[in-house]
Structures are given as structure tokens and as C-alpha cells.
Amino acid sequence: MPKINLLKKVENLFRKLRVVTMSDLCEAIGTSSRMTVFRRLRQMQYVTSYTHAGRYYTLHDIARFDSDGIWFYDDIGFSQNGSLKNSVTYLVAKSDGGKFHFDLERQLRVRVHNVLLDLIKAKQIKRRKFEGQYLYLSSDKARSTKQLEQRDHLSMQARRIPVFISESIVIEILAEVIRQSKRHPRADQVASALAKRGLPIAEKDVMSVFDHYDIEKKTADSHYFDT
């Protein structure tokens, strides 16, 4: 089959399904060779998912990237920056006040712990303790200084605003604590787990509940909420 026809078949498949796998592409072209598929893809502006071990593909003009260059098709994530490492580096460097671990996991909807460690070792980003947790910053000294200044400013403003946590949110937090009780959960772990279940509760709110119920001490002693 002429190359032009094969390319048209591939494009039509993308237009129909929006997101495809290598198996889909092989079937459309009529080959079992991944190299043959990639030769066709190189003639198109395609994007590989940073989730699901890069199993999914879409065309650049199909994706509807947000202002941070991220697009989700169901739970499949694509980034204008390509890989997860590149995406994390970009988001950290772009942010006005740096990024916490929870911020990145909530935004990218995947675990980023190992990626952050790799980027720190490679000096592509840096981190600093901020109010008891690591804040990830640009590797550029001038940029990271501005990020810290902005984070300090935001933190001071937040402390002036009374925090009200609804009963329903408190219940969700306590329920997650019980689910994680065997491993003595931390506030960041609880916040991350809730975010993955579609409940983006700020870590500071989780910490407020921890403080009120003295959870860190009680989980260590295996006594729960006997106030």
C-alpha cells in the first residue's frame, strides 16, 4: 500500500479514537513491526502519554493542553513537555512559589516521589524544607530565590485567613487515616491518597485535623480519636 494511504489510515484512526495504542496502530497499518509504525509516526506530530508507561499516543492537534501543557483523556495523561521527568521539571521551574510533592501528584495524577529524587540528584531541580515539608524549586538560583520570596508572602497571607474545614472533609480525612493506619500515615500521604480519589483537600487542612485529633501520636500508639 502506498505510504500516503498508510499515513491517511493512521491519521483517520487518531481522529476516530483520539488516543490509540501500539496494537491499534499495527492493526491499522497491517504490520507487527513497531519500527514500521514509528516510521509513520515520525511523519506526524504525535505525543506519547507520560502515564501508563507511555503506552498511549495521540496527535498534538487532538490534545487540548491546559496552561501548564497537560491534557487528560480519561485517566491517560499527556504533556507538551513529553516525559514525566520533563513535565515535573517544567512545572517546578514555571511555578511562582515552587511546588510541594502533593501539588505535583494532584496535578499530574501519578506518583512523582522517585522522579523528584532523580531530578534532585541530577541537579535539574532543588528542594528546601518549608514549614515542615520539602518545597521543590527551580535549579536556577535567581529564580529559586524569587520562588521562596513568593512562597513566604503567600504563607504569611494564609496565616491571616481563618481556616474553616467542613464536617464532610474532616470525615474524609479521618476515614483515610483509618485506611492507612497500619503504616502510621502522615498528612502528606493522606492528602495525596484523597487527591487520587478525586478529593483535592489541601495538605494544610489535613494537618489541621491531625493537630486537632493528635493523630500522629495516636496512630503511633494505635489508639484512634478517643477524645
Report how far residue 164's alpha carbon sits from residue 215's, in angstroms, rounded to the nearest whole number: 19
* 105 in a structural domain: yes
Q: Say if residue 143's pLDDT is above 80.
A: yes
Last residue of a domain, one of 55, 79, 103: 79
Confidence class for position 227, pLDDT limits 50, 70, 90: very low
- What are the residues whose beta carbons fall under 8 Å from the beta carbon of 108, sequence distance 6 or more? 50, 70, 77, 84, 87, 88, 91
- In Å, how far are 35, 41, 113, 164, 173 from 131, measured between CA atoms? 50, 47, 19, 20, 21
pTM above 0.75, yes or no: no
| Domain enclosing residue 140, as ranges | 84-160
CB atoms within 10 A of CB 11: 15
Q: Say if residue 10's pLDDT is above 60.
A: yes
Last residue of a domain, one of 136, 160, 184: 160
> Domain check: are 173 and 150 in the same one?
no
Last residue of a domain, one of 160, 183, 204: 160
Looking at residue 61, which CATH number applies to its domain? 1.10.10.10
> Domain check: are 68 and 117 in the same one?
no
* 73 in a structural domain: yes
* 226 in a structural domain: no
pLDDT in tens, 48-88: 999 999 999 999 999 999 989 999 999 999 999 999 999 99
- What's the number of domains the chain is made of? 3
pLDDT on residue 217: 58
> Domain check: are 55 and 111 in the same one?
no
Report how far residue 163's alpha carbon sits from residue 167's, in angstroms, rounded to the nearest whole number: 13
* 227 in a structural domain: no
